[in-house]
Amino acid sequence: MEERIFEYLAAHYDRFSTQQQSRVLDSIISRLADKGVLGKQIALDVIRGLEREEKYSMPKILAHLDMLDLEDRT
C-alpha cells in the first residue's frame, strides 16, 4: 500500500513546476519540523542522501518526505 501511495505522490509532484516543487518542499520540511518528526538540517541531509545515493528525482524526494508523517494526518 505504501508503495502505491509513494508512486501516486511522485507522479503528482512530477506535474508541478520546479518553482511549485520548491514551495512544496519548504512546506513539507516546515510541517515535519513543526511536528518534531524531522529537524530542518536532518531533512536537508536526507534530501542530499536521496539525491546522491538513491538518485531520486525531486518528485520522488517530495513523495518520500511527504509520507513521513502520513499516519499522523489520516
pLDDT tens by residue, 23-62:
999 999 999 999 999 999 999 999 999 999 999 999 999 9
CB 74 within 8 A of CB 13: no
Domain count, the chain: 1
Distance CA 47, CA 50 (A): 5
pLDDT of residue 74: 60
pLDDT tens by residue, 1-10:
899 999 999 9
pTM above 0.75, yes or no: yes
Give the domain extent around 18.
Answer: 2-73
CB 21 within 8 A of CB 62: yes
pLDDT of residue 72: 80
CB 22 within 8 A of CB 13: no
